[in-house]
Amino acid sequence: MVQCEMCGAETGAPKTVKVEGAELEVCDNCSDFGTEVKTQETSSTSTKYSTSSSGSSSSSSSSGGSSSSSQTRRSDMFDDMDELAQDYDERIRSARESAGLSQEDLAGDLNEKASLIRKLERGDVLPSDEVQTKLERKFDFSLTAGSSADEDEEWSGGSSTGEYTLGDVVKRKD
């Protein structure tokens, strides 16, 4: 018996379901909360993000399922989403200053409140999709990750194996 990774119920035949970007092994009742992923492997360790604390990860290595390329998966809304750049606040502030605008002027141009512009530039809030689009059109730039030359320079790190570690990715605020 396997535990459902959403509700914890015991289930004999779990289904692999993608819920908000994470693949989970769930019971029949919880399978309605996501998009079912069809796989040939049925081991509980095929999930991308495991929320269970069971130690069954070592038992799946003997399954020999090397045909992962034959997996079929329906796309969900998170596949098409762009990730907001970590330095979106700096990009907004520098673009506004380069245009010679005050926060109040920019707010008026975008038909938004000046307090929102202040919060965005401090990094206190994330821009809504609508505000992000307005800013990108106004300044002809992108607020999505991977669209800045500055970010490419930051990613020149990496361990001796050429793979990135968490330390290569994390930005610390002092």
Neighbouring-strand partners of residue 73: 37
Distances (CA, A) of 45 to 12, 14, 57, 67, 121: 15, 12, 6, 15, 42
Short-list 75, 14, 79, 68, CA closest to 39 = 68
Instruction: Tell me the pLDDT tens digit for each residue of 19-55.
Output: 888 888 888 888 888 888 876 544 444 444 544 444 4
Q: Is the pLDDT of residue 87 over 50?
A: yes
How far is it, in rounded angstroms, from Cα 146 to Cα 155?
10
| Average pLDDT of span 44-69 | 45
How far is it, in rounded angstroms, from Cα 174 to Cα 161?
29
Structure-model confidence comparison of residues 99 and 69, the more confident one: 99
What local confidence, expressed as pLDDT, does residue 78 receive?
60
Structure tokens at 49: 């993000």
- Residue range(s) of every CATH 1.10.260.40 domain in the chain: 88-139
What local confidence, expressed as pLDDT, does residue 85 receive?
85
Sign of the C-alpha dihedral, residues 138, 139, 141, 145?
negative
Structure tokens at 28: 């029949």
Instruction: Tell me the pLDDT tens digit for each residue of 5-20.
Output: 888 888 888 888 888 8
Structure tokens at 30: 């919880």
Structure-model confidence comparison of residues 169 and 110, the more confident one: 110
CATH class of 88-139: mainly alpha
